[in-house]
């Protein structure tokens, strides 16, 4: 295959040759991407056909999420479904006219073979060119309209009574402050969301919706924090049931830590075995917070801390790259099994006999070994039988997942911990999944945020140092500083530090040329602020402010009262052509928080730290979609609801004025648990004999108001609860 990288040169070549473009979009850990590559792209006849009739472009969706997002919208609109590999055919100007996902090498029922697809597309291009171009134009217009509509949900001020946008003539400033969604308003919105989520929850297995089931990571962050503030809320049950179930399921690697991307069944017993950094970056933080949750018993807290620490160990041992000191993107699902065949999950499965042998080698007695085997309710990697309800034939020699259908007792947990090192040893003798050593800035930043949060929760200085070292490497490799300042800006804190640009991708410590998108910049800003709050150097506040200032200059368009957020710069204009307009950021979460929510969180933390000027963007200005979606689609706005709640509490911060080191650790723990930043602490305020003096500072109408100091953390939290 003569693959071209994404870029203007490939489309220029298509214009020169007067041929359409074939864009194949996938990612390193994608099982069906590998299947199609072996079946079709490695076929000499099909490869020759593609090279002759098309310009073929290979796109890593993780490297170019904007390309993936644009063409996925087109694929879903044209076929009613999406997935990877994505197979898209475009005009030489990047507009789509045909799309699909995986195509088999031979026709299967109504699904055409890849060769048939290539023939049909070529025939349409050569014989019905005008129809193809007309169709591409209509698709581009539709994509642009859809994108503008979704993006506008975040920034158009809405009335709460009917959900209709409010124009300038109807806006009552006394009734609506577009810079904030007030706490009283949010109470009703949160109640609506929790009611809908309760209806959608799987009450047996946790999570929401049907199989395949993905961990709802952005939503869990909101539910956890909501339940910390109100342990009696329905949010507590929704969060704790899902996290408890995930933690004992096969989705969680009970041997080495880390979570798989999704499960093919309702019970989370059969994962799709690839492990993604963005999932684990979020879930590690959630389990760390669960380990200090006020509504959780001591045994469950210890279990949650073990799951978080085991996953962090997995990050260090399996994902940390020696050449850059940063975290790799993913581990593949496929490895070679004992028969020499490529198989999903072959590295991770153990038969009952293998479990028994490992337990004996680890020093467990026969009765204990049998008890451990009996606890396992895992299943074979037979997706078709499990999803279709066919009988499973399991013998003592059948490899299957490690999955527990009830929480382990303390004694049972000890058995698992005793045998886990032996299982790890045996597993490492097997073929290991491939690692995608591409470094993604946004995902590393999310991992840093969770590590810093966990360090504050556990008062773990070594973990904080590890998080700061990872952040320093990310800054050195992925951030380019531009000295100078924006003389037109009113907010010195955000705009005097000079510009910085974040590169999304690096390989072997060398950044790729493409500028990172809104998500990369926003998540890095959040990570910087969280590091400082957890006790790292106050320089991270300045760095976070510099990144946020760059976002406001490069990704935010404010004209005539209208706000538009750009997902990426699209410097070559290809995606602008593909959807007849700029690539606007949409506010709905996927497996990761939306870039809009990430920016809102960075703004909210900056607001809490007194970094925003009077004319700067405020979090509430880009969270208006919470009003519309809380009762309609709460599963896709969890990250936004989290930030809206924090902003609705007037973006509080803790100001530590005096106290012991233990007092400061307690304040940092409470801040990490409740989502309240701790302002940088002067060394002289920490004294061995000092009594605690703690102030709560609130952002009231753009001005910070600090309440009188109190002598206990409980008093400070009571003041926040109002």
Q: What is the pLDDT of residues 79-93, one digit of tens each?
A: 999 999 999 999 999
Q: Which helix (H) or strand (E) holds 480?
A: strand 479-482
Q: How confident is the model at residue 384 (pLDDT cuts 50, 70, 90)?
A: low
Read off the DSSP letter of residue 38: I
Q: Which CATH class is domain 3-149?
A: alpha beta
Query: 620 near 179, Cβ under 8 Å?
Result: yes
Residue written as token pair 């699209």? 570
pLDDT at 169: 33
Q: Which residues contact 569 (CB under 8 A, 6 or more apart)?
A: 515, 517, 554
pLDDT at 159: 46
Q: What is the mean pLDDT of the chain?
A: 91
Q: How far apart, in whole angstroms, are the C-alpha atoms of residue 722 and residue 718?
A: 6
pLDDT at 171: 35
- Quick check: 247 pLDDT over 60? yes
pLDDT at 178: 54
Q: Give 220-236 pLDDT, tens digit per residue.
A: 999 999 999 999 999 99
Residue written as token pair 């703004």? 603
Mean pLDDT of 441-467: 99
pLDDT at 484: 55
CA distances from 260 to 272, 320, 523, 575, 649 (A): 6, 17, 22, 31, 35
Mean pLDDT of 293-321: 96
pLDDT at 488: 38
- Closest by CA to 14, choosing from 51, 65, 43, 62, is 51
Mean pLDDT of 654-680: 98
> The tokens of 254 are what?
């009970």
Q: How far apart, in whole angstroms, are the C-alpha atoms of residue 713 and residue 718?
A: 9
Q: How far apart, in whole angstroms, are the C-alpha atoms of residue 379 and residue 273?
A: 13
Q: Count other Cβ atoms within 10 Å, centred on residue 340.
A: 8
| Bridge partners, residue 3, by sequence | 56
CA distances from 340 to 272, 274, 343, 346, 401 (A): 20, 20, 9, 11, 20
pLDDT at 580: 83
Q: Give 251-296 pLDDT, tens digit per residue.
A: 999 999 999 999 999 999 999 999 999 999 999 999 999 999 999 9
pLDDT at 181: 73
| pTM reported for the whole predicted model | 0.92
- 3-state SS record for 558-584: EECCEEEEECCCCCCCHHHHHCCCCCE
pLDDT at 673: 98
Residue 659, preceding bond cis, omega within 30 degrees? no
Q: Give 115-158 pLDDT, tens digit per residue.
A: 999 999 999 999 999 999 999 999 999 999 988 888 888 887 55
Q: Give 158-207 pLDDT, tens digit per residue.
A: 544 444 433 333 333 333 455 567 777 889 999 999 999 999 999 899 99
Q: Which residues contact 464 (CB under 8 A, 6 or more apart)?
A: 451, 452, 455, 456, 531, 534, 535, 536
Residue spans of the domains in the chain: they are: 3-149, 213-305+334-432, 652-722
| Residue of 526 and 486 predicted with greater confidence | 526
Q: How far apart, in whole angstroms, are the C-alpha atoms of residue 378 and residue 396?
A: 12
Residue written as token pair 């998500």? 519
pLDDT at 163: 40
pLDDT at 161: 42
Q: How far apart, in whole angstroms, are the C-alpha atoms of residue 215 and residue 444?
A: 19
């Amino acid at each position: 295959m003569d693959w071209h990288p994404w870029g203007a040169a490939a489309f220029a070549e298509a214009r020169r040759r007067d041929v359409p473009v074939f864009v194949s979009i996938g990612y390193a850990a994608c099982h069906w991407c590998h299947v199609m590559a072996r079946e079709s792209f490695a076929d000499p006849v099909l490869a020759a056909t593609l090279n002759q009739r098309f310009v073929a472009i290979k796109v890593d969706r993780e490297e170019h999420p904007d390309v993936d997002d644009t063409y996925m919208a087109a694929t879903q609109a044209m076929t009613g479904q999406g997935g990877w590999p994505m197979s898209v055919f475009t005009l030489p100007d990047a507009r789509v006219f045909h799309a699909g996902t995986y195509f088999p090498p031979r026709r299967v029922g109504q699904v055409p073979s890849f060769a048939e697809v290539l023939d049909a597309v070529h025939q349409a291009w050569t014989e019905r060119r005008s129809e193809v171009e007309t169709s591409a134009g209509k698709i581009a217009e539709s994509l642009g309209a859809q994108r503008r509509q979704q993006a506008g949900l975040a920034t158009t001020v809405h009335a709460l009574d009917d959900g209709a946008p409010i124009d300038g003539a109807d806006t009552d400033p006394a009734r609506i402050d577009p810079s904030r969604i007030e706490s009283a308003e949010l109470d009703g919105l949160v109640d609506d969301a929790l009611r809908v989520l309760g209806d959608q929850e799987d009450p047996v297995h946790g999570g929401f919706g049907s199989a395949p089931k993905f961990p709802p990571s952005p939503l869990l962050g909101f539910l956890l924090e909501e339940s910390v503030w109100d342990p009696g809320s329905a949010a507590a049950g929704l969060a704790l049931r899902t996290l408890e179930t995930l933690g004992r399921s096969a989705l969680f690697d009970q041997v080495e830590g880390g979570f798989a991307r999704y499960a093919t069944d309702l019970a989370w017993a059969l994962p799709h075995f690839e492990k993604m950094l963005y999932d684990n970056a979020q879930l590690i933080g959630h389990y760390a917070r669960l380990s200090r949750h006020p509504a959780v018993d001591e045994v469950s807290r210890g279990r949650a801390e073990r799951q978080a620490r085991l996953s962090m160990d997995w990050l260090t041992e399996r994902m940390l790259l020696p050449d850059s000191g940063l975290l790799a993107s993913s581990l593949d699902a496929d490895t070679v099994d004992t028969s020499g065949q490529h198989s999903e999950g072959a590295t991770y499965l153990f038969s009952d006999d293998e479990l028994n042998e490992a337990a004996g080698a680890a020093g467990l007695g026969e009765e204990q070994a049998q008890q451990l085997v009996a606890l396992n309710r895992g299943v074979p990697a037979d997706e078709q039988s499990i999803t279709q309800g066919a009988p499973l034939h399991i013998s003592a020699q059948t490899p299957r997942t490690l999955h527990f259908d009830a929480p382990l007792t303390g004694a049972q947990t000890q058995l698992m911990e005793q045998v886990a090192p032996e299982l790890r040893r045996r597993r490492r003798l097997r073929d290991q999944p491939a690692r995608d050593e591409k470094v993604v800035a946004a995902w590393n930043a999310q991992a840093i945020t969770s590590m810093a949060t966990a360090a504050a929760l556990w008062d773990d200085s070594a973990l904080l140092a590890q998080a700061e070292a990872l952040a320093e490497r990310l800054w050195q490799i992925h951030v380019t500083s531009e000295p100078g300042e924006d003389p037109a800006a009113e907010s010195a804190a955000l705009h005097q530090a000079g510009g910085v640009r974040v590169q999304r991708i690096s390989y072997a410590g060398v950044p790729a040329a493409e500028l990172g998108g809104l998500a990369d910049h926003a998540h890095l800003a959040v990570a910087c602020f969280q590091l400082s709050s957890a006790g790292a150097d106050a320089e991270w506040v300045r760095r976070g402010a510099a990144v946020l200032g760059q976002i406001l200059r490069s990704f935010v368009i404010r004209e005539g009262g209208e706000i538009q957020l750009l997902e990426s710069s699209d410097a070559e204009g290809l995606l602008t052509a593909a959807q007849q307009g700029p690539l606007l950021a949409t506010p709905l979460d996927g497996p990761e928080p939306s870039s809009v929510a990430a920016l809102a969180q960075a703004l909210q933390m900056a607001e809490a730290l007194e970094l925003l000027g009077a004319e700067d963007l405020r979090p509430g200005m880009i969270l208006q979609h919470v009003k519309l979606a809380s009762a309609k689609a709460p599963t896709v706005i969890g990250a936004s609801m989290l930030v809206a709640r924090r902003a609705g509490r007037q973006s509080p911060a803790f100001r530590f004025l005096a106290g012991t080191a233990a007092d400061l650790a307690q304040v940092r723990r409470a801040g990490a648990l409740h989502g309240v930043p701790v302002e940088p602490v002067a060394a002289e305020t920490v004294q061995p004999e000092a009594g605690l003096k703690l102030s709560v500072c609130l952002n009231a109408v753009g001005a910070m108001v600090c309440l009188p100091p109190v002598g206990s953390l409980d008093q400070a939290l009571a003041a926040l609860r109002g």
